[in-house]
Amino acid sequence: MNTSILNIEIQEFINSNLKTDIASLLLKGIPFNYIDPKDIIEQIEAKKSCEKKLPTWFSEKNIYYPNKLNIEQTSSETTARYKTNLVSGKSLIDLTGGFGVDAYFFSKSIDSVVHCEINSALSQIAKHNYKALNVSNIDCFNESGIDALNRIDQTFDWIYIDPSRRDHTKKKVFMLSDCTPNVKTLQVVFLKYAKHAMVKTSPLLDIKATKNDLQHVKALHIVAVNNEVKELLWILDRNSKWDFRIKTVNISKSSQQVFEFLYDEEQNAKIEYSMPLTYLYEPNAAILKAGAFTSIGNQLNISKLHKHSHLYTSEHLIDFPGRRFKIEKTIAFNKKIFVKEKIIKANVTTRNFPLSVSDIRKKLKIKDGGNIYLFFTTINDNSKVIVICTKV
């Protein structure tokens, strides 16, 4: 951490050049001979990355930023705020603190937070930024979270772990056992030192396989932001032994779409199937990731078009955690039949269909956009159809 970065003149230079093209800035030259220009460029690029992702840090004075990769890997404020609502109590230890976003928000609902980070520069940056943000209930330890647990040798209300998903060569890894720390082998240690543990994993992880890797799962939170799954949050409880609840949430600026179900119920439930009726429903990304394909139909009393299509229908409009459409017409997938509809511009979606969107556009000469939505899908009699819709 180069503290010269915090000099008033350099901070003013960084803030005044956030919208300046980096190449032209380098060509013009950095007007400070006592600091490496690369350090200033790194601060500019990292701060720009925080404008939407981490507005609290972006708007605060004298924040020191790590490189862009650290910013990319950290939680957003949106997901960090969500996690804050999942914890309570007097103490929490973040074993993989990183830039410190999660620990910052945990400190809003937990009396005492410990931030562990093995990278000395990143630990120093987090400690400095907490002071700049006027946070006084976070202790920063520059050591492995596992070493800190053993050294402190005390119990906590919560342990939080966001395992590194890169190996020693910086290559991305996804399997739980390939991440650092190895949660699969260390989960017993976590629950020795804490009543509860929260494990953040990659959105790409298979839920069934991960469930088999983890013991004492009490709940799984699948968090999407603007219909893109960002985090899987596994809640471990040393007293939990049986079925667990999955909660899906899709967060946007104006609302949160929430849907919950029991994992075992989904595996054993049955659902009604139907031809397309008056309304069509497409689940959001968090529900699709959760695999709640039967539970959502049963809870909301709607029918499914086909076992593998994951589209739903009803006669009467309902509130639904996803997109809602009014069905104008359903036709067979046939070029001659489609041409008669005189649709030249539409939004195209495929579900359980043999052709890609680009292939369909090329074959049927459909331009992108407009107010018409076309769903190319398979229905319960295994026929291929086009459901012509308008958005509700």
Residue ranges per structural domain of the chain: 3-71, 74-242, 270-391
**Over the chain, what is the mean pLDDT?**
93
Residue with tokens 């689940």: 283
CATH code: domain 74-242 is 3.40.50.150
User: What is the rounded (10 degree) CA torsion for 107, 113, 116, 121?
Assistant: 50
- Does 130 score more than 90 pLDDT? yes
Cβ contact 211:235 at 8 Å? no
Helix ranges (DSSP H) in the chain? 8-16, 22-28, 37-53, 55-59, 68-73, 77-84, 101-106, 120-132, 145-152, 183-193, 207-213, 263-268, 285-290, 295-300, 335-339, 357-364
- Tokens 């949660």 correspond to 183
CB 245 within 8 A of CB 209: no
Between CA 256 and CA 18 the distance in angstroms is 32
Please tell me the predicted confidence (pLDDT) of residue 167.
Answer: 65
Would strands 322-332 and 228-237 be described as parallel, antiparallel, or unpaired?
Answer: unpaired
Q: What is the structure's pLDDT at 207?
A: 92
Q: Kindly report the CATH number that applies to the domain delimited by 3-71.
A: 1.10.10
Q: Using 50, 70 and 90 to split pLDDT, how confident is the model at 169? A: low
Kindly tell me if the per-residue pLDDT of 348 is higher than 80: yes
pLDDT over threshold 80, residue 92: yes
Span 155-170, average pLDDT: 84
Least confident of 70-74, 258-262, 316-320: 70-74
Contact present, 311 and 302 (Cβ < 8 Å): no
The pLDDT confidence band at residue 25, using thresholds 50, 70 and 90, is confident
The whole-number pLDDT of residue 29 equals: 80
Residue 73: the pLDDT is 85
Chain-centre distance of CA 52, in angstroms?
Answer: 15
Look at 102-111, 208-217, 298-307 and tell me which has the smallest mean pLDDT: 208-217
Mean pLDDT of 88-93: 96
Q: Among the listed ranges 2-6, 61-65, 322-326, which one has the minimum average pLDDT value?
A: 2-6
Given a cut of 90, is residue 181 above it in pLDDT?
no
Instruction: Give the pLDDT score at 296.
Output: 96
Q: How many CA atoms lie within 13 A of 234 on its CB side?
A: 28
Categorize the per-residue pLDDT at 151 as very low, low, confident or very high, splitting at 50, 70 and 90.
very high
Confidence of residue 316 (pLDDT cuts 50, 70, 90): very high
Please give the average per-residue pLDDT across 355-375, as a whole number: 96
